[in-house]
Chains A and B, each alone.
Chain A
Amino acid sequence: MTRPIPSLTRRIALAFGSFFSILSRPDFAADVDQLRTAPLPSVPVIPAPEPVAVTPPAPAPQAAPAAALQLLGLLQREARFIDFIEEDIAAYGDADIGAAARVVHEGCRKVLREHFSLAPVRTEAEGSRITLPAGFDAAAIRLTGNVVGQPPFAGTLSHRGWRVTDTRLPRLADGHDAAIVAQAQVEL
């Protein structure tokens, strides 16, 4: 069984979504940790990408580095994202990191809401039992655990999933250098 590789945009959204889920939901963090350390299960799983995954060059066929750079620029502008990730947090107490995280969280959320429309892949409540018929969309639904037998599969929805239904990135002028994701600032 082969799994289609999610598009770059999808992976970026997944990366940021996971990033904050890991920060805010200990159970989710534990799951990710398990995923990353456990031997690969029978289903090939793409490791949860880390935020740095947006750095070009991206190998995906339709990857337009400009779009990734643009998103990085937006995250830096609104959320000081690169500053935050690049800073060594070991030297600071949780209160300081928490204060900075507010800036990052608020800004990332603004970028997410302004530039993407998100909808859950499955609308059922998490924890409910659902049945997947034959020919279900394996790109949108990931099977975990005791994956054997033939569809229809019955299982418990552990994560509703997210689908980006609309992407609205700024249009760039011709010749604009997207690699400058944050300008140096000089006060006169």
Chain B
Amino acid sequence: MNDAPHTTPAMARYTLGIDLGTTHCALSWVDTAASDGDKVVQGVLQIPQLTGPGATEDRALLPSFLYLPHASELAPGDLTLPWTAAQDFAVGEFARTRGAATPIRLVSSAKSWLCHPGVDRRAAILPAEAPPEVARISPLEASIRYLAHLRAAWNQAHPEAPFDAQEVTVTIPASFDPAARELTLEAAKAAGYQQLTLLEEPQAALYSWIQRSAGQWRKEVRRGDTILVVDVGGGTTDLSLIAVLERDGNLELHRVAVGEHILLGGDNMDLALAYGVARKLAGQGTQLDAWQTRALAHACRNAKETLLGDATVQTVPVVVPSRGSKLIGGSVRTEVTREELTQSLLEGFFPQAEVTDAPHNRARGGLTQLGLPYAQDAAITRHLAAFLRRQRGATAEMDGFDQPSGGDASFLHPTAVLFNGGVLKSDLIAERVLSLLNGWLAADGAPPARRLEGADLDLAVARGAAYYGYVRRGRGVRIRGGTAQAYYVAVESAMPAIPGMEPPIQALCVAPFGMEEGTDAALPAQEFGLVVGEPVQFRFFGSSVRRQDQVGTLLDFWGPDELHELEGIEASLPAQGRTAGEIVRVKLHARVTEAGTLELEALPVGGTERWKVEFDARGEGAATRP
């Protein structure tokens, strides 16, 4: 019903791209009035932010940290921003440095909490370790504040082109589930965003690569290519596959698969290295306190960058400065060697792996701590192997795609690789991933994949998102793909119940794979009875591999890798005009909004009403089930 081409409000001169990252945010813009075809006028907003008490500076990156100071901790005016003096918290660089010394008042990794299915994302739970007297905020609220800061920064720099009149694209990990996408949209709306689209980060990285090639990309990829995007950010690792097709003489890009959510990124790597060095120091009899450990982590990050940047350097001295004003007397000196770096980073996070390897699943202890659900296996290469194996058939039935689909291939064969994210700025790590992949390809008798060069790994996502807004106006090639999963609700099977066993369930497909923005799914024939005035929960599933299922497909059984349970969904019918307790027959209808979120509605049979079905973001859904 909403198939009209995307229309542009007359006022929007700029398309803005916002990278709402786990550790950093960035905003890039494209001036559509000054751009023409492949010649794109683009820039990155310098974001004013506090860098010290009472001091603001402009930086291209806004660290995604929020500090909640004690009432008497700062002098009046210390939190003043160019656009407000009334804020009682700090966002950005000052929040990050100040919070390092007082972590109980620091909100960090809000994005990871926003997609954590085990907690209520609208509840004030951050900082997780804060004592009772600190007024906590919700993961949603933290995201709202970062987004509001970016909006105010833009308005400050561009009073002539108000933020609300521009077209905005906010990026999310490709692996975000429907609930996390919806929460991101909700945060943006609460921050005052008007015209908003969501875009997957690996796609944004590829858009940025296309834009930087200034038209040359058509020569660098060809029909039949499958591009693997490996995006290792500060907090998450995101994998996507994009196929290059040719239809009617034009190259088309189709995002055919995305990986699972892997909560693992550069920050984990920095910490791993710092812990290794701290252990070494402890072995030499030097115990570091908490403050020194953080200073060590900071120093190790610099040492890591030096070692990764120059393969000839063997050791980098690291100094943990003393805390008092005696700098020389109290400093601790040590060094990070190449061997330690290789051990903790390359072998820890990018080990040599076989394509047949699966990520290790350590059994969780009896008590699961209410922290972030970090990936249980830190080996990104094993996650990559599992992803390529699972998506073996991703390009099998594509029209206009030439690659021999090879029924004997043991995994999907990428032909090109695009790296993104700060970690992959290191050639050492990028080459490790590429050579491992090419080893797998050679063993399968396939040609090696080539590396697509020329991406700006820190700002590619924001830049690509801004360029995407421009592309949406028909001014460049658009990556197609739609939803990367098919979605199912659980239906209790009609099989006779067996005492002591949970009744078996069937999975009813309500939204097929690859639904594009602004489209509606067909209405399934299956009906559900909802009790008026009582919320009803459904179990909800997604599949990243079942591409053929249509709306109404009813699955009796599925492989362990085929379907995974998402957070539950909840429908509740308002009591107006009905008697409480009455049972109404409804059908579940799915649509993908223009913004890119999945919406489920309950439509009463024979009626015209529509009730929104909510994603359960209260942490009582999938995560609490075994």
Contact = CB atoms under 8 A, between A and B. Distances in A.
A19 to B, nearest CB: 16
B362 interface: no
B135 interface: no
A29 to B, nearest CB: 21
Contact of A83 (B52, B53, B319, B325): B325
Contact of B57 (A96, A171, A174): A171
A173 B77 contact: yes
Interface in B52-68: 52-58
B55 A87 contact: no
Contacts, number: 79
Interface in A162-188: 168, 170-177, 182-183, 185, 187
A86 interface: yes
Contacts of A96: 328-329, 331
B301 to A, nearest CB: 12
Interface string B380-405: 00000000000000000000000000
Interface in A133-188: 168, 170-177, 182-183, 185, 187
A172 B54 contact: yes
Nearest to A184: B325
Contact of A170 (B57, B78, B323, B328): B57
Given A102-B317, A106-B302, A170-B51, A185 B323 contact: yes
A70 interface: yes
B76 to A, nearest CB: 8
B328 A100 contact: yes
Contacts of B48: 171
Contacts of A168: 57-58
A117 to B, nearest CB: 14
Contact of A89 (B54, B75, B82, B328): B328
B482 interface: no
A87 B77 contact: no
Nearest to B101: A185
Contacts of B53: 176, 183
A72 B80 CA distance: 22
Interface in B301-321: 302, 317, 319, 321
B287 to A, nearest CB: 17
Interface string A59-96: 00000000000100100010010011011010010011
A103 B55 contact: no
A171 B54 CA distance: 8
Given A170-B57, A171-B57, A173-B54, A103 B77 contact: no
A103 B321 contact: yes
Interface string B327-341: 111010100000000
Contacts of B321: 80, 100, 103
B85 to A, nearest CB: 8
A167 to B, nearest CB: 12
B95 to A, nearest CB: 15
B371 to A, nearest CB: 25
A77 B331 contact: no
B219 interface: no
A125 interface: no
B333 A92 contact: no
A45 interface: no
A176 B319 contact: no
B323 A73 contact: no
Given A99-B319, A176-B77, A176-B78, A171 B327 contact: no
A51 B57 CA distance: 25
B327 A100 contact: yes
Contacts of B625: none
Given A73-B52, A174-B77, A92 B328 contact: yes
Nearest to B54: A176
A103 B327 CA distance: 9
B364 to A, nearest CB: 35
A132 B58 CA distance: 39
A92 B322 CA distance: 15
B328 to A, nearest CB: 4
B56 A83 contact: no
Contacts of B51: 170
B326 interface: yes
A170 B323 CA distance: 25
Contacts of B80: 173-174
Q: Across chains A and B, which 5 residue pairs bring their CB atoms closest together, nearest first?
A: A176-B54, A170-B55, A173-B54, A99-B333, A173-B80
11 contacts: A83-B327, A96-B328, A97-B328, A100-B327, A100-B328, A100-B331, A102-B317, A102-B319, A171-B55, A176-B53, A176-B54
Given A102-B319, A104-B327, A173-B55, 12 more contacts: A73-B52, A77-B52, A83-B326, A84-B327, A86-B325, A92-B328, A99-B317, A106-B302, A172-B55, A174-B80, A176-B54, A182-B325
Interface of A: 70, 73, 77, 80, 83-84, 86-87, 89, 92, 95-97, 99-100, 102-104, 106, 168, 170-177, 182-183, 185, 187
